[in-house]
Structure 1
Amino acid sequence: MEVLGRLLAMLAVLLLGTGLRSSGLLNAARTARLNATAYYVALPALVFVATYDQSIGELLSAELLAGSLIVVFATGAIAWLAHRNRFSRGRRSVAIIQSYHSNLGYLGLPLVAATFDARVTAIASVVLGFVTLIQLPLTIVVLSTFSGADAAIGRELRNLATNPVLGALVAGLAIGAAGLPVPAPAATGLDALGALALPLALLCVGAALQVDSPSLSLEATGSVVALKLGCMPLLAWGVFSLLAVDAATFTASVVMLGMPTAVSTYVYASELGGDAEFASLNVFVTTVASVATLFVLITVIG
């Protein structure tokens, strides 16, 4: 019941963000400030606190990296097979990317940190960093291939290099590997900032969620939900079971890869010729539906 209560509270804050946007209280400028606070302050603090006192050898493993790579590309391949010769090119490209592109930063890591212990959270931070490096370039390539858009892949890769969350991950792993101490007051302050990551991220995601009824297609959206919230975590479960990883790595990997579709897929669809309205609808539906699927997933992993 504790997990269900936490997920329902997450849904409540998410819908609060949507309601505040609809009422005008959370306008574009305020949402941007909240987003900047979450992205540049709270999430990096959470990642750093999760990793700075962990051994890099215990967090990074060939099985973790290989398993994540297999799950992302296998889900993408299944999505391509499921959606080929269906829908328009713009809608097809969005259906493919939203089947594997997970919301790891704004929902995944904060939820793991609020639900599991420090070791699982540290490994989830590594999953966040590594899978982001996979899914972001893959999403840009898929969208630009279908639309023929001139994607600035080099610019996006440079943005990744200056990503504050990835920078905090590298710093945390480096300090953990060197065994350097972090002063207690600094650790306490960063821990307090990291605790803000989930509520801030949920408000930002909620403010970005939109439903455009003309773009509604039960078949198309249903297939994205089934692949993202059903196929991908089941595939992760099978792959990491076969790789015989330890319990913490299994838990972190499966839960993180079971997250809903990232809000950023709507942004990339808008910029690179995808069906933006369809993308926005799918982000909303997968996020709301994930409350039920994550409850089942977390309960079964237990």
Structure 2
Amino acid sequence: MEVVGRLLGLLALLLVGTGLRTSGVLDTGRTARLNAVAYYVALPALIFISTYDRAIGDLLSATLLVGSLFVLFATVGLAWLVHRNRDSRPRQSVAIVQSYHSNLGYLGLPLVVATFDADVAAIASVVLGIVSLTQVPLTVLILVSVTGSETRIVREFAGLFTNPVLLALLAGLGVGSSSATVPPLAVSVLDIVGAFALPLALLCVGASLEIDLPEIDFGASGSVVALKIVCMPLLAWLVFSVLSVDEATFTATVVMFGTPTAVSTFVFANELGGDEQFASLNVFVTTLVSIASLFVLITLVS
């Protein structure tokens, strides 16, 4: 019942964000500022606090690296096969990237931290780093190649090196792998700040998205949901079962790959010639459906 209550709370926050946008409380400017607080403050604090007391050798293994990348690229291949014949290239590009690009930072890691123990949370932080470093440049390349968009790819890739999420992960693993210590007061403050990552992110998701029902492509959106919410976590379950990883690694990877499509795919679609309305719809729908699917996953792995 505790998991049910937590996931229903996530749904409530998502709908509150939508309501605040509709009422005008969260306009574009306020949503952007709220998003900045979540992305540059709360989420990095959560990542650091999950990894600062653990050595990198205890968390990052060849099995975790290879397994995570296999799940990611296998899903990319399936998405390409499923969506390769779509008439609209902007829609095709978005459908492909949204079938694999996971919301690991805004939803995955905060949910894992709130639901499982510290061992699982630490592994989830590493999964976030591995997959984010891969899926972000991959998404940019696919959008640019399919849509023919003219953009400065070097600029997009350079953004990875100033990504606060990845910097926080490196900082946490650096401290954990050294003899450095973090003052207890700083740990307490970061713990409090990190607790706001999930609610802030959900409010931003709800406030950022709009749906035009007459324009819904049920076939395309249904395929995205099936690949992202069903196929990807199932593939992770099979791969990490075959690899015979420990319980913490299995739990972290399955739940993280079961997260919905990342909000950032909407931003990338808007900047790189994708179908932004279609992207907006898919982020909302996969997030909504994942409330139920994550309950199933969490129940099974628990």
Residues 147-194 of structure 1 show CA distances to partners (whole Å, capped at 9, x for unaligned) of 111232211221110111111110110110003211111111111111
TM-score (norm 1): 0.98
Note the C-alpha offset of 1:209: 2.0
**Structure 1 match to 2:142:** 142
1:178 aligns with 2:172: no
**Structure 1 match to 2:2:** 2
1:75 aligns with 2:85: no
Looking at structure 2, the residues matched to 275 and 225 of structure 1 have their Cα atoms a distance apart, in angstroms, of 17
Note the C-alpha offset of 1:56: 1.3
Contact 1:17 1:204 in 2 (8 A): yes
Residues 186-215 of structure 1 show CA distances to partners (whole Å, capped at 9, x for unaligned) of 111111111111111111111112212233
Residues 104-162 of structure 1 show CA distances to partners (whole Å, capped at 9, x for unaligned) of 11111111111011111111111111111111111111111111112322112211101
**Structure 2 match to 1:52:** 52
Tell me how many residue pairs correspond in the alignment. Answer: 302
TM-score (norm 2): 0.98
Looking at structure 1, the residues matched to 32 and 275 of structure 2 have their Cα atoms a distance apart, in angstroms, of 24
Query: Which segment drifts farther, 68-77 or 214-223?
Result: 214-223
Residues 148-187 of structure 1 aligned to structure 2 (within 5 Å): 148-187=148-187
Query: Which segment drifts farther, 268-277 or 251-260?
Result: 268-277
Residues 113-152 of structure 1 aligned to structure 2 (within 5 Å): 113-152=113-152
Residues 126-275 of structure 1 aligned to structure 2 (within 5 Å): 126-275=126-275
Looking at structure 2, the residues matched to 8 and 139 of structure 1 have their Cα atoms a distance apart, in angstroms, of 30
**Structure 2 match to 1:86:** 86
Looking at structure 2, the residues matched to 251 and 148 of structure 1 have their Cα atoms a distance apart, in angstroms, of 39
Looking at structure 1, the residues matched to 132 and 214 of structure 2 have their Cα atoms a distance apart, in angstroms, of 31
Alpha carbons of 1:151 and 1:236: their partners in 2 closer, same or farther (altered >3 Å)? farther
Runs of 4+ residues over 4 Å off in structure 1: none
Letter in 2 for 1:30: R
Note the C-alpha offset of 1:294: 0.4
Structure 2: gaps of 5 or more residues: none
**Structure 1 match to 2:24:** 24
Looking at structure 1, the residues matched to 286 and 82 of structure 2 have their Cα atoms a distance apart, in angstroms, of 18
Note the C-alpha offset of 1:91: 1.2
Looking at structure 2, the residues matched to 58 and 215 of structure 1 have their Cα atoms a distance apart, in angstroms, of 49
Looking at structure 2, the residues matched to 99 and 93 of structure 1 have their Cα atoms a distance apart, in angstroms, of 10
Determine what percentage of the aligned residue pairs are the same residue: 67
Query: Which segment drifts farther, 7-16 or 211-220?
Result: 211-220
Give me the CA root mean square deviation: 1.0
Contact 2:228 2:261 in 1 (8 A): yes
Note the C-alpha offset of 1:71: 0.8
